[in-house]
Chains A and B, each alone.
Chain A
Amino acid sequence: GNSVTQMEGPVTLSEEAFLTINCTYTATGYPSLFWYVQYPGEGLQLLLKATKADDKGSNKGFEATYRKETTSFHLEKGSVQVSDSAVYFCALRGGGAGGTSYGKLTFGQGTILTVHP
Protein backbone atom coordinates (compact mmCIF):
# COMPACT_ATOMS: atom_id res chain seq x y z
CA GLY A 1 0.00 0.00 0.00
CA ASN A 2 0.87 3.67 -0.07
CA SER A 3 3.00 5.23 2.63
CA VAL A 4 4.45 8.63 3.55
CA THR A 5 7.52 9.17 5.71
CA GLN A 6 8.37 12.55 7.21
CA MET A 7 11.49 13.60 9.02
CA GLU A 8 11.23 13.17 12.74
CA GLY A 9 10.60 16.22 14.82
CA PRO A 10 10.29 18.35 16.67
CA VAL A 11 12.17 20.99 14.73
CA THR A 12 13.21 24.15 16.58
CA LEU A 13 14.51 27.17 14.68
CA SER A 14 15.24 30.82 15.26
CA GLU A 15 13.26 33.43 13.36
CA GLU A 16 14.57 34.03 9.80
CA ALA A 17 16.28 30.63 9.65
CA PHE A 18 15.94 28.33 6.64
CA LEU A 19 13.47 25.46 6.97
CA THR A 20 13.48 22.04 5.35
CA ILE A 21 11.09 19.26 6.30
CA ASN A 22 11.78 16.07 4.39
CA CYS A 23 9.00 13.92 2.97
CA THR A 24 9.33 10.73 0.94
CA TYR A 25 6.56 8.50 -0.30
CA THR A 26 5.81 5.05 -1.65
CA ALA A 27 2.96 4.69 -4.11
CA THR A 28 2.04 3.00 -7.35
CA GLY A 29 1.24 5.17 -10.31
CA TYR A 30 1.15 8.94 -10.07
CA PRO A 31 -0.30 10.27 -6.82
CA SER A 32 -1.04 13.90 -6.02
CA LEU A 33 1.03 15.31 -3.16
CA PHE A 34 0.03 17.81 -0.50
CA TRP A 35 1.39 19.66 2.51
CA TYR A 36 -1.08 20.52 5.25
CA VAL A 37 -0.51 22.69 8.32
CA GLN A 38 -2.23 22.37 11.69
CA TYR A 39 -2.25 25.26 14.16
CA PRO A 40 -3.02 24.55 17.83
CA GLY A 41 -6.64 23.61 18.45
CA GLU A 42 -7.56 23.66 14.77
CA GLY A 43 -8.10 21.27 11.91
CA LEU A 44 -5.63 20.86 9.09
CA GLN A 45 -5.40 23.48 6.33
CA LEU A 46 -3.97 23.02 2.87
CA LEU A 47 -0.58 24.71 2.55
CA LEU A 48 0.37 23.68 -0.98
CA LYS A 49 -0.02 20.90 -3.51
CA ALA A 50 1.52 19.35 -6.65
CA THR A 51 -0.25 16.95 -8.93
CA LYS A 52 2.42 15.73 -11.34
CA ALA A 53 6.15 15.16 -11.54
CA ASP A 54 8.33 18.31 -11.47
CA ASP A 55 5.41 20.50 -10.38
CA LYS A 56 6.32 23.05 -7.71
CA GLY A 57 3.68 24.01 -5.18
CA SER A 58 4.08 27.29 -3.33
CA ASN A 59 2.18 29.38 -0.79
CA LYS A 60 3.05 31.91 1.94
CA GLY A 61 6.77 31.58 1.18
CA PHE A 62 6.73 27.79 1.44
CA GLU A 63 7.70 25.64 -1.55
CA ALA A 64 7.84 21.94 -2.41
CA THR A 65 8.73 20.19 -5.67
CA TYR A 66 7.30 16.84 -6.74
CA ARG A 67 10.35 14.68 -7.49
CA LYS A 68 9.31 11.36 -8.93
CA GLU A 69 12.87 10.10 -9.40
CA THR A 70 13.54 10.37 -5.67
CA THR A 71 9.87 9.93 -4.59
CA SER A 72 10.17 13.07 -2.48
CA PHE A 73 8.22 16.24 -1.74
CA HIS A 74 10.38 18.21 0.69
CA LEU A 75 8.94 21.39 2.22
CA GLU A 76 11.18 24.48 2.30
CA LYS A 77 10.97 28.09 3.43
CA GLY A 78 13.75 30.60 3.17
CA SER A 79 12.99 32.62 6.31
CA VAL A 80 10.64 31.31 8.96
CA GLN A 81 8.58 33.44 11.32
CA VAL A 82 7.24 32.79 14.80
CA SER A 83 3.77 32.53 13.25
CA ASP A 84 4.91 29.47 11.25
CA SER A 85 5.04 27.43 14.46
CA ALA A 86 2.63 24.54 13.81
CA VAL A 87 2.48 20.86 12.89
CA TYR A 88 3.15 20.06 9.22
CA PHE A 89 1.80 16.98 7.45
CA CYS A 90 2.83 15.56 4.11
CA ALA A 91 0.10 13.57 2.34
CA LEU A 92 -0.60 11.75 -0.89
CA ARG A 93 -3.81 11.02 -2.73
CA GLY A 94 -4.38 8.40 -5.40
CA GLY A 95 -1.56 6.76 -7.30
CA GLY A 96 -3.44 3.61 -8.21
CA ALA A 97 -5.61 2.61 -11.11
CA GLY A 98 -9.25 3.66 -11.22
CA GLY A 99 -11.24 6.47 -9.74
CA THR A 100 -11.74 4.96 -6.32
CA SER A 101 -8.00 5.08 -5.65
CA TYR A 102 -8.46 8.78 -4.94
CA GLY A 103 -10.71 7.94 -2.03
CA LYS A 104 -7.80 6.84 0.09
CA LEU A 105 -5.43 9.45 1.45
CA THR A 106 -2.23 8.69 3.30
CA PHE A 107 -0.59 11.11 5.75
CA GLY A 108 2.85 11.24 7.26
CA GLN A 109 3.21 11.29 11.03
CA GLY A 110 3.54 15.08 11.20
CA THR A 111 6.48 17.33 12.09
CA ILE A 112 6.20 19.83 14.93
CA LEU A 113 7.89 23.12 14.10
CA THR A 114 8.67 25.69 16.78
CA VAL A 115 10.16 29.05 15.80
CA HIS A 116 11.69 31.26 18.49
CA PRO A 117 12.08 35.06 18.21
Chain B
Amino acid sequence: EAQVTQNPRYLITVTGKKLTVTCSQNMNHEYMSWYRQDPGLGLRQIYYSMNVEVTDKGDVPEGYKVSRKEKRNFPLILESPSPNQTSLYFCASSLGRGYEVPNSPLHFGNGTRLTVT
Protein backbone atom coordinates (compact mmCIF):
# COMPACT_ATOMS: atom_id res chain seq x y z
CA GLU B 1 0.00 0.00 0.00
CA ALA B 2 1.31 3.44 -0.96
CA GLN B 3 1.79 5.47 2.15
CA VAL B 4 3.72 8.04 4.16
CA THR B 5 4.62 6.77 7.61
CA GLN B 6 5.45 9.05 10.50
CA ASN B 7 6.67 8.02 13.93
CA PRO B 8 5.83 8.48 16.67
CA ARG B 9 2.14 9.44 16.57
CA TYR B 10 2.36 11.10 19.98
CA LEU B 11 5.37 12.55 21.75
CA ILE B 12 5.66 14.40 25.05
CA THR B 13 9.04 15.84 25.92
CA VAL B 14 10.72 18.55 27.96
CA THR B 15 12.33 21.79 26.87
CA GLY B 16 15.82 21.33 25.47
CA LYS B 17 15.77 17.56 24.96
CA LYS B 18 16.71 16.77 21.38
CA LEU B 19 14.19 14.72 19.42
CA THR B 20 13.68 13.31 15.94
CA VAL B 21 10.41 12.61 14.16
CA THR B 22 10.85 10.10 11.37
CA CYS B 23 9.10 10.12 8.00
CA SER B 24 9.29 7.46 5.33
CA GLN B 25 7.48 7.04 2.00
CA ASN B 26 7.26 3.99 -0.26
CA MET B 27 6.16 5.70 -3.47
CA ASN B 28 9.62 6.62 -4.81
CA HIS B 29 8.70 10.30 -4.59
CA GLU B 30 11.40 12.89 -5.13
CA TYR B 31 9.65 15.63 -3.16
CA MET B 32 9.11 15.56 0.61
CA SER B 33 8.04 18.25 3.05
CA TRP B 34 7.21 18.97 6.69
CA TYR B 35 4.31 21.07 7.99
CA ARG B 36 3.01 22.11 11.34
CA GLN B 37 -0.70 22.59 11.98
CA ASP B 38 -1.89 25.03 14.59
CA PRO B 39 -5.48 26.17 15.30
CA GLY B 40 -6.46 29.17 13.21
CA LEU B 41 -3.20 29.11 11.25
CA GLY B 42 -3.75 26.17 8.92
CA LEU B 43 -0.66 24.31 7.77
CA ARG B 44 2.65 26.10 7.60
CA GLN B 45 5.60 24.68 5.74
CA ILE B 46 8.76 24.07 7.77
CA TYR B 47 11.21 22.57 5.26
CA TYR B 48 11.02 20.79 1.94
CA SER B 49 13.28 18.67 -0.21
CA MET B 50 13.11 18.46 -3.98
CA ASN B 51 15.41 15.40 -4.05
CA VAL B 52 18.18 13.60 -2.18
CA GLU B 53 20.67 16.01 -0.59
CA VAL B 54 18.55 19.03 -1.62
CA THR B 55 16.64 20.81 1.14
CA ASP B 56 15.16 24.31 1.42
CA LYS B 57 13.46 26.40 4.06
CA GLY B 58 9.73 26.83 4.11
CA ASP B 59 7.91 29.60 5.93
CA VAL B 60 8.71 28.61 9.55
CA PRO B 61 12.11 26.85 9.63
CA GLU B 62 13.46 28.36 12.86
CA GLY B 63 14.25 25.74 15.50
CA TYR B 64 14.10 22.80 13.08
CA LYS B 65 16.58 20.80 11.03
CA VAL B 66 16.08 18.20 8.32
CA SER B 67 18.22 15.85 6.28
CA ARG B 68 17.63 13.89 3.08
CA LYS B 69 20.29 11.25 2.78
CA GLU B 70 17.98 8.71 1.15
CA LYS B 71 15.06 9.18 -1.17
CA ARG B 72 12.50 7.49 1.08
CA ASN B 73 13.35 9.16 4.41
CA PHE B 74 13.05 12.76 5.58
CA PRO B 75 13.46 13.10 9.36
CA LEU B 76 12.59 16.27 11.26
CA ILE B 77 15.01 17.18 14.04
CA LEU B 78 14.38 19.52 16.95
CA GLU B 79 17.80 20.13 18.52
CA SER B 80 16.46 22.06 21.52
CA PRO B 81 12.65 21.94 21.60
CA SER B 82 10.72 24.78 23.19
CA PRO B 83 7.05 25.00 24.26
CA ASN B 84 6.17 27.11 21.18
CA GLN B 85 6.97 24.05 19.07
CA THR B 86 4.05 22.18 20.61
CA SER B 87 1.99 21.37 17.56
CA LEU B 88 0.65 18.74 15.18
CA TYR B 89 3.28 17.87 12.56
CA PHE B 90 2.69 16.36 9.14
CA CYS B 91 5.09 14.90 6.64
CA ALA B 92 4.08 14.76 2.97
CA SER B 93 5.53 13.61 -0.33
CA SER B 94 4.81 13.97 -4.03
CA LEU B 95 6.28 13.46 -7.45
CA GLY B 96 8.96 16.03 -8.08
CA ARG B 97 10.27 15.66 -11.60
CA GLY B 98 9.91 18.55 -14.04
CA TYR B 99 6.51 18.82 -15.67
CA GLU B 100 4.91 16.45 -13.14
CA VAL B 101 5.48 18.76 -10.22
CA PRO B 102 2.75 21.41 -10.65
CA ASN B 103 0.03 18.79 -10.99
CA SER B 104 1.28 16.56 -8.22
CA PRO B 105 -0.86 16.40 -5.09
CA LEU B 106 0.70 15.75 -1.73
CA HIS B 107 0.38 12.43 0.09
CA PHE B 108 0.28 13.02 3.84
CA GLY B 109 1.22 10.94 6.84
CA ASN B 110 -1.20 10.67 9.77
CA GLY B 111 0.60 13.23 11.87
CA THR B 112 2.71 13.47 15.01
CA ARG B 113 1.30 15.34 17.97
CA LEU B 114 4.19 16.88 19.87
CA THR B 115 3.93 18.43 23.33
CA VAL B 116 6.92 20.28 24.78
CA THR B 117 6.67 21.14 28.49
Q: Could you tell me which A residues sit within 8 Å of B by CB distance?
A: 1, 4, 6, 31-32, 34, 36, 41-46, 49, 51, 89, 91, 93-94, 99-100, 102-110
Contacts and interface: CB of A to CB of B under 8 A. Distances in A.
B102 A109 contact: no
Given A104-B48, A109-B40, A109-B42, A46 B101 contact: no
B108 A43 contact: yes
28 contacts: A6-B42, A32-B102, A42-B110, A43-B4, A43-B90, A43-B92, A43-B110, A44-B106, A51-B102, A89-B42, A89-B43, A94-B101, A99-B50, A99-B101, A102-B96, A102-B102, A103-B33, A103-B50, A103-B56, A104-B59, A105-B45, A106-B45, A108-B42, A109-B40, A109-B41, A109-B42, A110-B42, A110-B43
B48 A32 contact: no
Contacts of A36: 106
Contacts of A32: 102-103
